[in-house]
Amino acid sequence: MRILAAGDHFVAPELLTRELAAVIGAAHTVGQLRLPWPLTPFGPVSEVDEASGDEDTLLAALAGAEVCVTQMAPVTSKILDGSPDLRLVVVGRGGPVNVNLDAAKKHGVQVCNTPGRNAAATAEYTIGLILAAMRRIPETSAALAAGRWAGEFYTYDNCGPGLDGATVGLIGCGAVGSRVARALTALGSEVLVYDPYADPGLLREAGTPVASLDELLRRSSVVSLHARLTPETRGLLGARELALLPEGAVVVNCARGALLDEDALCDALESGRLAAAGLDVFAVEPPPPGSRLRTAPRLVMTPHLAGANKSVAHNAARVAAAEVGRFLRGERLAHRVA
């Protein structure tokens, strides 16, 4: 059987090939393709989202392949139409948004993902971004690097709040949100959780469930987003919602940029209603040169790095290789989505 390891500069094709060899041995041919992400941002390719590379290059690499293991390759209708031997696509990420699932089903191609592969990394980063925004760590580090001992940040008016005793609201309480909740509890925070789709028992384990988003916003001095981006959640936090937060609140988003109205966030920062914000994700990545985010005060920004650590890359490759092994042995796939 021919397998294509369509890796990138994070989950590298060599890493995928090594993990595949550990599971399936040397009896199968593994070809390699390296996609440009993350050196080139992902984006829409034809009808799929958050993809990397072009369809023609992928089509050529898939010639004769029955299995494709990838993180970012654009598995579009054109790809599926032009790859008659393809039987399985394993996507090394939580949401296979780079795969046209309807077209895959039409062509009889099974699709799997690797859920939870970066949950711990994203939760760690969320805590770091909350602290960086609240305690003004990047701002004070930059001042010291420029030769200025910024003692004014120790004054009452300029120092930031802490997490011990703070009420933190989590919007979404899945694999990432639940881990963030545990870390916040250990730091002494009161954790409120809002997730209309989560199991009520799991919500109670994570923190104090609230009945509505509005209630969570009114009670929280820190809010962190952990929801999936759907038509229902797009623009979840806009001007009305941000106005419900107590004055001096902090907002952090390591989920998806389009969950948050960025202009409304800039308004709240510029007016002083929000004490700070931290963004790892953006509606357009990277933010365009004229974006207000680039000049908004007390805003910490990082380039979509929350899920980036070495353990995540290895996790994705291992889980993906295990799925290929199940497929070759004729076993039920553990993470089939289509």
Cα Rg of the chain (Å, integer): 22
What does the alpha-carbon distance between residue 328 and residue 338 come to, in Å, rounded to a whole number? 17
Catalytic residue among 93, 117, 256, 335: 256
Catalytic residue among 304, 318, 326, 335: 304
What does the alpha-carbon distance between residue 290 and residue 29 come to, in Å, rounded to a whole number? 48
How many CB atoms sit inside 10 A of residue 136's CB?
20
Catalytic residue among 124, 215, 270, 285: 285
The answer to whether residues 271 and 248 touch, using CB atoms and an 8 Å cutoff, is no
What does the alpha-carbon distance between residue 287 and residue 264 come to, in Å, rounded to a whole number? 15
229 closest CA partner among 50, 72, 109, 14: 50
- The phi and psi torsions of 174 (rounded to 5 degrees) equal -90, -140
Say if strands 43-45 and 48-51 run parallel, antiparallel, or are unpaired: antiparallel
Give the chain's length: 338
**Is 256 labeled as catalytic in the residue annotation?**
yes
How many CB atoms sit inside 10 A of residue 302's CB?
17
The answer to whether residues 307 and 122 touch, using CB atoms and an 8 Å cutoff, is yes
The SS3 assignment for 45 reads: strand
The SS3 assignment for 111 reads: strand
What does the alpha-carbon distance between residue 276 and residue 99 come to, in Å, rounded to a whole number? 36
Query: Roughly what angle, to the nearest 10 degrees, separates helices 175-186 and 119-135?
Result: 50
Q: What DSSP string describes 171-195?
A: E--SHHHHHHHHHHHHTT-EEEEE-
**Is 304 labeled as catalytic in the residue annotation?**
yes
Task: Tell me which H or E stretch contains 160.
Answer: none
Residue holding tokens 């009114």? 218
Q: Which amino acid, one-letter code, is at 8?
A: D
Supply the residues annotated as catalytic.
Answer: 256, 285, 304
